[in-house]
Amino acid sequence: MVVGIYSYYCERCQVLGMLIISVMYCFSESAIVFDEGKNYTSKKEIKNWIEKSSKEYNTVMKPIEFEGDAEKGSLKAEVFGTFPGSPVVLTYNLTFKGKHIESLKIN
């Protein structure tokens, strides 16, 4: 199930509009995201972060490797976009709460 959630998340990160809202269902109500020195601590903040990043950098994520279990996981993905240094390989460290992402830290 964990791999399914992450696969769903990765596929949806490549599309703007209504599908960004679909990504929000992957996050728990108390989710927190850590990215580029900033914390996003509500579903509204996370949604705004996803929309802004996707639109500003035209990001596309290509999953490379996932390791984890029902409590935590680590995804390596190649990320392409209009940002300096593209493409880059990023590591997404996650913790899960049930079927949802509870925390996401991007390195």
- Contact between 80 and 59 (Cβ < 8 Å): yes
What 8-state DSSP symbol labels residue 33?
A: E
What 8-state DSSP symbol labels residue 55?
A: H
pLDDT tens digits along 48-91: 888 888 788 888 888 888 888 889 989 888 888 899 999 999 99
| Integer Cα distance of 100 and 6 in angstroms | 10
Domains of the chain are 2-106 (3.10.450.50)
Residue listed under structure tokens 């998340």: 9
The whole-model pTM stands at: 0.77
- Contact between 105 and 11 (Cβ < 8 Å): no
CA dihedral (85, 88, 94, 99) in degrees, to 10, reads 110
The residue that leads in pLDDT, 54 or 40, is 40
